[in-house]
A and B are shown apart, each in its own frame.
Chain A
Amino acid sequence: MIPELGHFALILALLLSGAQAFFGLAGASRGNVAWMRAAVPAVTGQFVFLMLAFGVLAWSFVQFDFSVRYVAMTSNSLLPLFYRISAVWGGHEGSLLLWGLMLATWSVGVAAFSRSMPLPFKSRVLGVLGLVSIGFLMFMLFTSSPFERLVPAAPEGNDLNPLLQDVALALHPPMLYLGYVGFSVAFAFACATLIEGRTDVSWARWARPWTLAAWLFLTVGITLGSWWAYYELGWGGYWFWDPVENASFMPWLAGAALIHSLAVTEKRGLFKTWTLLLAVVAFSLSLLGTFLVRSGVLVSVHAFATDPARGLFILGFLIAVIGGALTLYAWRAPLLKSEAAFELASREAFLLFNNALLVAATGLILLGTLYPLFMDALNLGKISVGPPYFGVAFLIPMVPLLMLLGVGMHAAWKRTRLGHLKRPLLALAIVSAVAGLLVAAFVYGEVHYMGAVGFAVAFWVLSSTLLGVWENRGQLGKAPAGFWGMTVAHFGVGLFALGVTGVESYRIERDISLGVGETTTLQGYQFEFMGTRDVRGPNYRAIEGEVVITRDGKLVKTLHPQKRFYASGGNPMTEAGIHARLNRDLFVALGEDLGAGKWSMRVQYKPLIRYIWLGALLMALGGLVSMTDRRYRARAPATVPATGGLKGRVA
């Protein structure tokens, strides 16, 4: 009976999303205040019913209700409580429910924190969100209801894919979806602006905190996924340029571009139409990501099910949303012209380059991701685009982007004026270049071409960011949150570059065969294999190896990599042994028994890899700090002077 309640709640939520779309859009266009007001309770109701549906599904998992097909598919009676809860979004149907719930959560947020917006605008925003919600709830109800029953009930569940039984991965989908879906808010703001033909730029100020929020969740989600892949997949890689990873990375890049162009639009009234288009693009890429992952067009670990009906539905939805928004854009955008002018080295110009380069990176990744699909569809052969392509395609725009970032941060709005910062910046650039070369040559002992460039660029971004803080040392107390957000995020970008450079240029990876008592040496670390033993966990048994790492005869760490066999059967899992330090990770994964007392083993030295995730988390933190800026909370549109008193102004 309980699962049917969930299904019923889903249907009610769908009806309410219809009401939300209708009252929001029709109310605003007819100027009917009562209708416009009605959109808010519709949003709230939808949220409540989706929470209910979600709660019901979680309850079915907690209660081991294997009469529900989805529960039987993704859990079993040995699964610990925590993973039974996370199993709610461990499969296709449940993750869609999570998607829908996230959308309703964002909608409720917009309804609650939008006092500064005029009522018609707010109700149009809610109306557009309602339309998106209708699409998703219909998709769920018609093709993938999580509440479908199994008759007769299964005596035992199938188990959650053991790969997913992990804390980071339990949190990865909710964060990622909060990000994906969060771009729907910027999208709805853009659509509402286009519908109204608003020529002012207040929408940009309203949209900024929402866009920051979506982007920061996406950042955290991607980071968790990358971290998980590193320690759980047993390969020691942090990013594979897998199509599904790309699907989450493209909206991230577009979102980063959007954050920066919103700043220009808000502060200077420039790039108006471009910013609107970016908002549409960021959400479209999120939907495309969902389509690629959920339709089974790309089959990988992320694609839970392949069902042509689902693929067609999402494709139709995708075309409706993107086509609709672009038509609206083509029709309305010419009304919005930007009037201001700016000079070549002004902050606007730097942000323009930022956008051009971020969009270029997005485009190149999109090309590499979709190209194999087109080739296959046109029967031109089955191809795959190898990771080296993405490496190159990503670096081409990123290196100039980071070089410009160091200057752009200090540029003034409107005019070319670096003033007294010219000399310090030039000095920093030279020092960074030399330091990059020196670190490559003396710390890592090899002037790897990309290594030296990468370190130099990373030092340049880090030092230039710190220069911004130094410049304002007298007035840091008064600095707005936006300044701190920018500083923290850009510092994160520098650390990220540092980490990627270290790993990509100087990692050492070795697959070897080791007998008990045998050793191998990597970068001065000696790995000695001590043997294996059997161990037991709550729902698995494992073979555990023992590897003692020493350096110059001193013990560094004893690692215990495992090969796990889950009770539910299926594939063995590799649990790597990792010793993490800020300057490097040592990574050992156990392979298989090779006979003759030997085991195959993967031993790796990963310099600076922690900075990749640390940098990414700082970027997210920067977004969070920026969100708290006071001017987003102002009730009435506050006029912020274009050139404030603070040097190295906030964007």
Chain B
Amino acid sequence: MTPRRKRMLAVAAIVIGVGAATAVALQAMNENIMYFYSPSQISAGEAPAGRAFRLGGLVSAGSVERTPGSIEVRFTVTDNARSIPVSYSGLLPDLFREGQGVIAHGRLDDAGVFKADEVLAKHDENYMPPEVAESLHTPTAAGGAS
């Protein structure tokens, strides 16, 4: 092989390698993008069925329920207009509290319950996830869990 052909070969190898890598990365990206939905959007049927997404809102006051001694926990997440029931099995973050902003990763089951596999309440008590802050409705007489 002439040096020129060698170089062409090297360039071709790099192009193919980069191309393949990009394809795999984009595929991974596509699979791991999670959209954010508020309780109102979910109630309106906008959330995808069978695909993981993020749900955000406030933990409704008085909604946290546990079977004593069990790690299973149920609560509802509200945007002050609609609420979505959530079930989760695992340790809740330190900042998880009724009335506080929360983001959960998971998917909807057939009964309309959001099965969370991760619950996040960020590390600062004054912090409100920006998506949650934007999606909140002003409390009204009807949905007034403030």
B65 vs chain A, min Cβ distance (A): 11
- Give the complex CA separation of A600 and B93 in angstroms: 12
Given known contacts A360-B18, A513-B69, A515-B69, A385 and B32 CB-to-CB distance under 8 angstroms:
yes
Interface of A is mostly: mixed
Could you give, for residues 85-96 of chain B, a 1 whenever the CB lies within 8 Å of some chain A CB and a 0 otherwise?
Answer: 000011110110
Q: Which among A257-265, A389-397, A480-488, A579-587 touches the partner chain?
A: A389-397
Chain B residues near A299: list those with CB within 8 A.
122, 127, 129-130
Given known contacts A383-B35, A386-B33, A574-B94, A356 and B66 CB-to-CB distance under 8 angstroms:
no
- Give the complex CA separation of A596 and B68 in angstroms: 6
B99 vs chain A, min Cβ distance (A): 14
Please indicate which of the listed interface residues A368, A512, A513 has the most CB atoms of chain B within 10 Å of its own CB.
Answer: A513
B92 vs chain A, min Cβ distance (A): 7
Given known contacts A161-B124, A299-B129, A570-B125, A595 and B29 CB-to-CB distance under 8 angstroms:
no
A593 vs chain B, min Cβ distance (A): 10
- Give the complex CA separation of A161 and B127 in angstroms: 13
- Give the complex CA separation of A344 and B5 in angstroms: 11
Asked if residues A392 and B28 are in contact (CB atoms below 8 Å), the reply is yes
How many chain A residues sit at the interface, stated as a range, is 35 or more
Taking a contact as CB atoms closer than 8 A, the residue among A301, A364, A572 that contacts B122 in the complex is: A301
Given known contacts A301-B122, A344-B10, A594 and B32 CB-to-CB distance under 8 angstroms:
no
Within 8 A of A (CB), among B64-117: 66, 68-71, 89-92, 94-95, 105
Asked if residues A595 and B66 are in contact (CB atoms below 8 Å), the reply is yes
Asked if residues A300 and B71 are in contact (CB atoms below 8 Å), the reply is no
Tell me if A591 is interfacial: C-beta within 8 Å of chain B: yes
Could you give, for residues 337-351 of chain A, a 1 whenever the CB lies within 8 Å of some chain B CB and a 0 otherwise?
Answer: 000000110000100
Chain A residues near B32: list those with CB within 8 A.
385-389
Tell me if B16 is interfacial: C-beta within 8 Å of chain A: no
Asked if residues B69 and A383 are in contact (CB atoms below 8 Å), the reply is no
Taking a contact as CB atoms closer than 8 A, the residue among A343, A360, A384, A600 that contacts B21 in the complex is: A360
Within 8 A of B (CB), among A591-636: 591-592, 594-598, 600-602
A396 vs chain B, min Cβ distance (A): 5
Asked if residues A344 and B127 are in contact (CB atoms below 8 Å), the reply is no
Asked if residues A512 and B71 are in contact (CB atoms below 8 Å), the reply is yes
Given known contacts A368-B29, A589-B91, A594 and B54 CB-to-CB distance under 8 angstroms:
no
- Give the complex CA separation of A572 and B96 in angstroms: 10
Asked if residues B34 and A392 are in contact (CB atoms below 8 Å), the reply is no
Chain A residues near B69: list those with CB within 8 A.
513, 515, 594-598
A51 vs chain B, min Cβ distance (A): 31
- Give the complex CA separation of A364 and B27 in angstroms: 12
- Give the complex CA separation of A400 and B94 in angstroms: 40
Chain A residues near B124: list those with CB within 8 A.
161, 301, 571
Within 8 A of B (CB), among A382-431: 382-389, 392-393, 396-397, 400
Asked if residues A382 and B10 are in contact (CB atoms below 8 Å), the reply is no
- Give the complex CA separation of A356 and B13 in angstroms: 13
B61 vs chain A, min Cβ distance (A): 18
* Chain A to chain B contacts (Cβ below 8 Å), 8 pairs: A344-B10, A383-B36, A385-B33, A386-B33, A389-B25, A400-B17, A511-B91, A589-B91
Having A594-B70, A597-B69, one finds 6 other A-B pairs with CB under 8 Å, namely: A382-B36, A393-B29, A513-B69, A571-B94, A591-B92, A594-B68
